[in-house]
Structure 1
Amino acid sequence: RMANIITSSPQDNDLYIKTEQLIHFRLAFSVVSLVVAVCISWLAREELEIYPVVAIILMVVFYSAILLGLLNTGMVNTDARLHRINAILLGLDVVSLTGLVHFTRGVESEVYLLYLLPILLSSYTFHRKGIYATALFVSLSYTSLLLVENASFLPFLVEQPTDAGLAAAYSHRLWGRILARSTMLVAVAFVWARFCQYMSGVAQQGANRLREQLDDNNRLMTELEDKARRETLINSINSALRSTLDLNQIFGTAVDELARALRAPDCAIVCLSRNITAPPLIVEAQVTVPRQLNAAGQEISPQRASSGGFDRDLCEFVLLNKSTYEKQASDGKLVKTFLFFDPVKDPAFKNFKTTGNLSDVSSLIVQPMMYGDESKGVILIADKDTHRSWSPQELELVKSVAGQVAVAVEHGELVEQLSAKNYDLLNKNLNLDAKNLELRAIQSQLIHQEKMASLGRLVAGIAHELNNPINFVHGNLPYLREYFEDLKKLIGSLDDLTGDNKPQVAELKNKMRYDFLITDLDHIIADLNEGAERIRFIIRNLKSFSRLDEAELKEGSLKEGIESTLKILSQYYGRDKIPFETDFADLPPILCYPGQLNQVWMNLLSNAAEAVMSVPTPLVTIRTEEVNNRIKVTIADNGAGIPPDVQSKIFEPFFTTKPVGQGTGLGLSICHSIMQRHGGEIFCNSTLGEGTSFVLEIPIYTSAADLANVRGRGEIDSIFEPALGPGMEPD
């Protein structure tokens, strides 16, 4: 500080600006002097030695350029160095002018007036002593020059040689002129110095008045900026209050803005937690206060960051003892803001056990956040600067912020209470809606179950009724073949007979088209046998799929169930129809409800078949594998895929993407319920334009008791959902 270091940009320093301007003036003056010297040399060639004059002018340009370079490089960064630079410049100026006067000879009477220029320049950067010192140096330089130039006549002035004659007289007259001119220059120099000092003082007074006005303006601007910051702070808190109900965000905005406005990074809000057993909520400022500069660019406040936060013990102590307004014992005045200087020694903290947390705190502000008569917490502001003083405006700002935050806390509590009540009502409504939906689902499932059970019994009955006749037909076909062969042998033996009846037999065989009948009967018996076998095969598949003739819970093969379902869905899958690929792992039979699993395969394979109907090269893949004691079944198709916005709804009851009348919305819901009954899971992975895959995971159980433990909500006791034609497919 003693050296007056230029902390801001050097170009903002007044002395620096003046020095730079004077150097520019010297450069410009040198250029003009060079032009004038050339003109004088051309007009009076014998009166002026042009080369020494040009050399002196170039020397001025040289040292001015060097010192200007030093300024621009930032090496001159203190006022003391700037003063030394100006002193050197003035000294060089006087020496240069002395040389210029010496080499101008006949015109020196006009040039020596330039000696007044350094005095004028000194008044621009120096005060009284500097101006008079410059005037004295100018006088000594000019007088010394005259003495040196006329040193050869000095003996005539000191001694009186008898033979001097005219030279002695000339010497006396010359020295008289030298003395007169020196006296006049000294007088003019000091008068000019006095005049420059006076004008400098007048200019300084004007500058001081201007600075006072600028200071007043700066003070007004500072007050306006402080007021604007306060308004901005209040608006920020109000905006946070309107935009969110999160107290952490509101508190964070309040302490950050307050820390910036007060230039106090150690700022926090402390309030009780909503949970009674939880510790108090502490939200601290997370800002770094930038350094502050004065009008001259000098630092008056360094950059500061938070010192590490408030100690929790201190926060709890203040929240317990200083969270409400207090009345003074002396006059009963209500104290709304508590300001402690050197809080370690303050009586208010005598009961605070860990006072070491306050050892480095110079001042502490405690501002209760009151809403009516209820305290919502406190605002803590600490500062370690021993020179920090808190203005009434700053304390009023803290109180205003505390009021706004208290309103925010009260508003948040009211909204939370209202939200809790609305949430309870909403839960009740949701529970009611869920119950209604569950009842509808159960009712629809019961209806669907009864329909499927009836249809299953009907199919089983039909299969049973068809089984007896077809067994009769199939059982008699071998005898029919045997009898037919015997007849062929009998008729063939007639050809071996001799006698008159042989032509009659031949004629009769010709009329009956015996050869055609024999061949056609062979084909008919073969077709009857093939048809009977196919009918028996279909009946076996129906009985195997329905499982009505077997126990409900048993060990079953997933592979057989899927293959049986594919045979039932022969209208979709088979030769010249939808191609499918299977990759069945060697899996053991599992304890399950085979009829219900067949219903799952029926729903998924039917949906897959419908999904690939419009695909140019349809393909359905079925894969089984055992992973972590669970059987994983994947049924995938390359259809159009399921839109992402409906994928989360496909397992909901009554949800369907099919047109009205073509789907009940229960197919996948029933599959989900069946998987739950088996303790398994079903997932859907679908991408638009690529296809859909359903992944089923079924645990492997070793006993019926283990499987019974997982039976829960959504049990489906229906046996299967047939797919007998268009309009009857599962959803």
Structure 2
Amino acid sequence: MNVANSSPASIASGGLQQLVEQSLEIMACYGFDRRYQAVSPALTEALQCPAAALLNQTNADLADLAEQAQQPKTLRKYWRQVEDAIATVLHQGCAQRRIHSFPTATGVQLYETTYTPLIDQQGQVDQILSISREASVQTQDRLLKEAGLAAASQLAAQPDSLVGVEMPGLEIASLANLPVSLQDPATQPSSDIPEGSQDIAQRQGDPLRQTAEFMQLVLDNIPQYIFWKDLNSVYLGCNRRWAEMAGIGNPSNVIGLTDDVLPWTQEQKDWYVECDRRVMATDTPMLRIKQSQLQADGQLSWRETSKFPLHDAEGNVIGLLGTIEDITERKIAEDLLKQSEQTFRKLAKQEELLNQISTQIRQSLKLKVIQETTVHEVRQLFKADRVLIYRFEEAWQGHIVVESTNPPWSPILGEMGMDSCFPQKYAELYCQGRIRAVTDIEVAEIDECHRDYLKSLQVKANLIVPILVQNKLWGLLIAHQCSGPREWKEDEIELLQALAGQVGVAIKQAELYAQAKASATAAQEKADQLEAVILNLQQTQAQLIQTEKMSSLGQMVAGIAHEINNPVNFIHGNIDYLKEYFSDLMRLLKLYQQHYPSPVPEIAEQIETIELGYLLQDSEKILQSLQVGSNRIQQIVRSLRTFSRLDEAEKKAVDIHAGIDSTLLILHHRLKAKPHRSEIQIVKQYGHLPLVECYPSQLNQVFMNLISNAVDALNQQIAAGERANEAEAPSIAIFTEIVNDQVMVRIRDNGPGIPEENRARLFDPFFTTKPIGQGTGLGLSISHRIVTEKHGGHLIYTSDPCHGTEFQVIIPLHQ
């Protein structure tokens, strides 16, 4: 892709470009060709430069343009510093942080800028995002401290100094690197010095020579190493300490040399030249660079180097000045301190692990968790390949209880065979507290069969401590090293021994807890059995009470139906005769009126008095009302007999719909409109059901309980004013259908639903949410037993506060 010829929109992704262009922060986006792809308004305002002048340009191009236009040097320096930062990010592939100075109308302003690489799918840097913020007071103070400057004005003069950079691959110092006496400079070979090196004094007159010699004398007495180079990184001079360190003898021998001919490693040479380039190309000092350096005597030393750009009278960079301070002893002390810190951290980690296991034993009785924690933490702390707990069984055979394995070594839990080479004498020694540390199984004094057994487990070295429970050998805590032989340290052995003791305490504690838990479980089982017996008695009592209640109700209903049925039959049977007699009288009366249209005054007066016309019309209506009323009474009597079903106490094939209708008839008075609510609507959607084999009287009892509860729920909701949609009429819907050779009766209301906290106890005996005196808490419990135990079915429910409750009665077609 030719990025230089592409528009900003085609280079930057839409999201990133929009982010930069609309951001209130000072931001910019660069392509992998180092050209600007997008800039924020805040950046253009800070630089007083339009976006069009920046886009598709590199910072090097902008620096050249600024120089051609004779713009301020601070602006040209800024472009070169940004160019160097972007080049560093592209080269190293990691983010950079720089402190830049922005030239403003009021002077130089310090900004802290981060350069973040954006990586493509091939792992290459595709774009770079920069974000700049005004340097805080704390940042300026930190920079002053790192740069060793006294005032912010000095910082403004060199704001872009790179402080504390470390050379890649910086070695770790040890006591072996302490410096030794240097060889006598006079005896150092000078054959490596190229021909043409000249003495500075030979090219100058006597006054200049005296001045040069005095300056050299001053430099030679400075404790630091000092050197200076030209723009091509060619050495122009150094002090004597630097010359001795480089092995060139006299400082004048350095003139004309480059780092390529000096006794550095190739990595060091490349690093020195790279630092030179950055200092002179960006006119930016690099302060306190930490780097290792191979001296002429072959000894490795550590240095802290600072490099400053040198300028001519016009301010152009003409070279650099370098100062070096030997920090070998300090570096050794720091690294030894780090090693000591690591040692103390390891000891602290061991103590922490021991305390952790002890705390777990005090706070937890979960033996498995304690064992898993032990092997996992020991493996990580010891950097072992495998740690396990082995438990003995009969004849000193056993199995692995728990293990922690570091890949790629195979886990052996469940696959580890018996160690047939474990003699009883070993057990006796472990009981006495024996600890076995095998550095290398190949040379250890162990039985061959045991050696072969360890090889089969990929073990090269192991550490074994016994786990004792009340002075009896319970098992072993074992650490395996599979990658190679290992020398086990004394502190590791002591820690593993202490942990094994803690595991033994945990095992004993777990055994005591298991015994107590078993006793508690046995006692709880007996209590549960007693509770079940009491609950069964309560349910039986409730069933008897409800059965007696329903039996009494059935007998009363049957008696009422019987007593009503006889007179109703008498009335109903005579209505037809009465209608026939009335018709005959009507025909006779019409004949009188036809043949004697003018009756005598006395008859005419009587006709008018009794309103004969109205009487005849109303009498006919009365006869029709008698007919309808008698039919209704007969229907009620049949429903009462259907509901009571005293003659159907045993299983019988019946019409389920008739049972539901009879229940609705009994509850009709509760469905009518009340002063505080409208009539409860009954929606019946009956499917085509065959006769169902069931206990009719008991099933009617279930329907009675479910429909009564639905009516109660609707009444309570309306009375409490909690009905969300008052315009929606209260209703109860009843559905019947056949599902997989089973009859399903669904009774649904649009009431408040069942509260979540009550659902778990819904079918418990004597549980009720109704006010005292309005509910016994037996209805649903008995209904559940009738459906599940008597009919082998299911009574389930669903409830939603927004849509009410639905109960489903599911029973087989055939019992």
- TM-score (ref. length: structure 1): 0.65
Indicate which of 701, 714, 723 corresponds to 1:612.
Answer: 714
Task: Give CA deviations for 1:442-471 in whole Å, capped at 9, x if unaligned.
Answer: 112112211211110110111011111100
- Match in the other structure for 2:785: 673
- The gaps in structure 2 that reach 5 residues or longer are 1-160, 173-178, 180-187, 228-237, 257-295, 297-302, 304-325
Is the Cα–Cα contact under 8 Å of residues 225 and 242 in structure 2 kept in the other structure?
no
Shift of 1:554: 1.6
Q: Larger Rg: 1 or 2?
A: 1
Aligned partners of 1:74, 1:594: CA distance in 2, in Å? Answer: 95
Q: Is it true that 1:505 corresponds to 2:619 in the alignment? A: no
Shift of 1:666: 1.0
Is the Cα–Cα contact under 8 Å of residues 439 and 462 in structure 2 kept in the other structure?
yes
The structure that is strand-richer by fraction is 2
**What root-mean-square deviation, in Å, do the aligned CA atoms of Structure 1 and Structure 2 show?**
4.5
**Pairs within 5 Å for 1:38-49:** none
Indicate which of 185, 210, 214 corresponds to 1:109.
Answer: 210
Q: Is it true that 1:259 corresponds to 2:372 in the alignment? A: no
Aligned partners of 2:536, 2:421: CA distance in 1, in Å? Answer: 52
**Pairs within 5 Å for 1:406-485:** 406-485=504-583
Is the Cα–Cα contact under 8 Å of residues 401 and 413 in structure 2 kept in the other structure?
no
Aligned partners of 1:127, 1:265: CA distance in 2, in Å? Answer: 51
Aligned partners of 1:551, 1:141: CA distance in 2, in Å? Answer: 125
Q: Is it true that 1:646 corresponds to 2:758 in the alignment? A: yes
Shift of 1:624: 2.2
> What secondary structure, in the 3-state scheme, does the structure 1 residue paired with 2:437 have?
strand
Indicate which of 353, 357, 362 corresponds to 1:242.
Answer: 362
> What amino acid does structure 2 have at the position aligned with 1:652?
D
Task: Give CA deviations for 1:237-260 in whole Å, capped at 9, x if unaligned.
Answer: 022223332222111111122223
Is the Cα–Cα contact under 8 Å of residues 101 and 111 in structure 1 kept in the other structure?
no
Task: Give CA deviations for 1:158-201 in whole Å, capped at 9, x if unaligned.
Answer: xxxxxxxxxxxxxxxxxxxxxxxxxxxxxxxxxxx9xxxxxx9x
Aligned partners of 1:402, 1:78: CA distance in 2, in Å? Answer: 40
**Pairs within 5 Å for 1:704-719:** 707=815
> What amino acid does structure 2 have at the position aligned with 1:284?
E
Q: Is it true that 1:697 corresponds to 2:810 in the alignment? A: yes
- Residues 141 and 571 (structure 1), Cα distance of their counterparts in 2 relative to 1, 3 Å cut: closer
- Match in the other structure for 2:619: 521
Is the Cα–Cα contact under 8 Å of residues 460 and 484 in structure 2 kept in the other structure?
yes
Indicate which of 742, 745, 748 corresponds to 1:630.
Answer: 742
- Match in the other structure for 1:280: 399
Task: Give CA deviations for 1:319-368 in whole Å, capped at 9, x if unaligned.
Answer: 9658976449xxxx945211223335545443448536358533211111
- Residues 693 and 92 (structure 1), Cα distance of their counterparts in 2 relative to 1, 3 Å cut: farther
Shift of 1:267: 1.1
- Match in the other structure for 1:584: 686
Is the Cα–Cα contact under 8 Å of residues 122 and 134 in structure 1 kept in the other structure?
no
> What amino acid does structure 2 have at the position aligned with 1:376?
W
- Match in the other structure for 1:294: none
- TM-score (ref. length: structure 2): 0.59
- Match in the other structure for 1:729: none
Aligned partners of 2:538, 2:577: CA distance in 1, in Å? Answer: 58
- Residues 267 and 479 (structure 1), Cα distance of their counterparts in 2 relative to 1, 3 Å cut: same
Bigger relative contact order (CA 8 A; separation at least 6)? 1
Aligned partners of 1:501, 1:327: CA distance in 2, in Å? Answer: 143
Aligned partners of 1:254, 1:485: CA distance in 2, in Å? Answer: 107
Q: Is it true that 1:309 corresponds to 2:411 in the alignment? A: yes
Is the Cα–Cα contact under 8 Å of residues 323 and 377 in structure 1 kept in the other structure?
no
Aligned partners of 1:360, 1:513: CA distance in 2, in Å? Answer: 123
Aligned partners of 1:528, 1:140: CA distance in 2, in Å? Answer: 139
Aligned partners of 1:308, 1:499: CA distance in 2, in Å? Answer: 125
Indicate which of 232, 245, 267 corresponds to 2:352.
Answer: 232
Task: Give CA deviations for 1:654-698 in whole Å, capped at 9, x if unaligned.
Answer: 111111111111111111111112111111111223311112222
> What secondary structure, in the 3-state scheme, does the structure 2 residue paired with 1:612 have?
helix
Task: Give CA deviations for 1:554-591 in whole Å, capped at 9, x if unaligned.
Answer: 21222332233223321244796211323222222222
> What amino acid does structure 1 have at the position aligned with 2:774?
Q
Is the Cα–Cα contact under 8 Å of residues 271 and 319 in structure 1 kept in the other structure?
no
Aligned partners of 2:602, 2:793: CA distance in 1, in Å? Answer: 79
- Residues 498 and 605 (structure 1), Cα distance of their counterparts in 2 relative to 1, 3 Å cut: closer
Aligned partners of 2:193, 2:564: CA distance in 1, in Å? Answer: 133
- Residues 216 and 438 (structure 1), Cα distance of their counterparts in 2 relative to 1, 3 Å cut: same
> What amino acid does structure 2 have at the position aligned with 1:390?
W
Task: Give CA deviations for 1:690-723 in whole Å, capped at 9, x if unaligned.
Answer: 311112222222xxxxx2xxxxxxxxxxxxxxxx
- Residues 103 and 318 (structure 1), Cα distance of their counterparts in 2 relative to 1, 3 Å cut: farther
Shift of 1:409: 1.1
> What amino acid does structure 2 have at the position aligned with 1:250?
I
Shift of 1:419: 0.7
Task: Give CA deviations for 1:91-150 in whole Å, capped at 9, x if unaligned.
Answer: 9999999569736774122214555647973999999995594224736979xxxxxxxx
- Match in the other structure for 2:133: none
Task: Give CA deviations for 1:359-403 in whole Å, capped at 9, x if unaligned.
Answer: 853321111100222223211101246563222222111110000
Is the Cα–Cα contact under 8 Å of residues 198 and 252 in structure 2 kept in the other structure?
no
> What amino acid does structure 2 have at the position aligned with 1:579?
Q
Is the Cα–Cα contact under 8 Å of residues 744 and 810 in structure 2 kept in the other structure?
yes
Indicate which of 201, 221, 225 corresponds to 1:121.
Answer: 225
- Residues 354 and 132 (structure 1), Cα distance of their counterparts in 2 relative to 1, 3 Å cut: closer
Q: Which deviates the most, 477-486 or 109-118?
A: 109-118
Is the Cα–Cα contact under 8 Å of residues 366 and 381 in structure 1 kept in the other structure?
yes
- Residues 438 and 464 (structure 1), Cα distance of their counterparts in 2 relative to 1, 3 Å cut: same
Is the Cα–Cα contact under 8 Å of residues 481 and 525 in structure 1 kept in the other structure?
yes
Aligned partners of 2:241, 2:427: CA distance in 1, in Å? Answer: 58
- Match in the other structure for 2:118: none
